[in-house]
Amino acid sequence: MTDLSGKTALVTGGSRGIGRGIVEALAAAGCRVAVTATTEAGAEAGAAAARQSGNEALAFAGDVRDSGRTQAIVDEIVAKWGSIDILVNNAGITRDTLLMRMSDEDIDGVIDTNLKGAMYACRAVAKPMLKQRAGTIINISSIVGITGNAGQSNYAAAKAGIHALTRSLAKEFGSRGIRVNAIAPGYIETDMTKDLPAEVTQGALAQIPLSRLGETGDIARAALFLASDDAAYITGTTLVVDGGMSI
């Protein structure tokens, strides 16, 4: 079993879905976890789930699009816990439609949240992690950042950007003991996918060799692996967790 006792983590968008699953897995491995969400109540729900494992947890309301808020959250974590060992950039949104119909808000909202939000958080943890000469960053992307998807050009572009960000930071930080990786989930059952039309879900299922939709635990276990010393020689990679959907 993975042991992360003594470690500290920040998970963005940890109120529900994939982020919540990662929060619970990190806490169960002994980690102290700080959880963000857009609301205090959402962040607190994630932190309360983490505390079920008997570990300390912190809750922060914070929009990842607000770089100043992200910096303040990281500063508070370091002030309270003395370190930040793991960052999981999970917060994300979709605004799906064909490019011709996409508004400026659809484009900016998705790029600002999924890509720039992650970049701000990476920048905020860089200083403490470089000082520690240790740390690991996990960016949650998507297989559509590799394959592309009609109706998701904003989201796919943001997630492809995450892959480039991941590889670039792996090169920038590697010599200082900091690993940076991405996880590209396939179709995972969460609030993000629950309102998709039945034919979209059936179509996705038909493309998945392992014949089931993904669960949040599938991504959480991958995150736990990348966060742990079992992945000590892995950096700059994108781990696809999609039941084979993208092959």
Which positions lie near ligand NAP, rule CB under 6 A? 12-13, 15-19, 36-39, 42, 63-65, 90-93, 113-114, 140, 142, 185, 187-188, 190-193
In angstroms, the CA 191 to CA 15 distance is: 11
**Amino acid, res. 235:** T
Q: Using the 8-state DSSP alphabet, how is residue 214 labeled?
A: B
Smallest distance, ligand NAP to C-beta of residue 112, A: 8
Nearer to ligand NAP, 95 or 176 (CB): 95
Contact 73, 47 (CB under 8 A): no
Nearer to ligand NAP, 61 or 234 (CB): 61
Smallest distance, ligand NAP to C-beta of residue 219, A: 7
Nearer to ligand NAP, 37 or 231 (CB): 37
Nearer to ligand NAP, 63 or 176 (CB): 63
Smallest distance, ligand NAP to C-beta of residue 40, A: 9
Nearer to ligand NAP, 38 or 55 (CB): 38
Smallest distance, ligand NAP to C-beta of residue 176, A: 26
In angstroms, the CA 119 to CA 65 distance is: 10
Look at residues 78, 174, 81, 183 and name the one whose alpha carbon lies nearest to residue 135: 174
Q: Say what angle helices 67-81 and 117-132 make with each other, to 10 degrees.
A: 30
**Active site positions, annotated:** 155
Task: Write 174-178 long-range contacts (CB < 8 A, 24+).
Answer: 174/235, 174/236, 176/129, 176/130, 176/133, 177/132, 177/133, 177/134, 177/135, 178/129, 178/130, 178/133, 178/134, 178/135, 178/136, 178/137
CA gyration radius, the chain: 17
Smallest distance, ligand NAP to C-beta of residue 133, A: 28
Contact 215, 190 (CB under 8 A): no
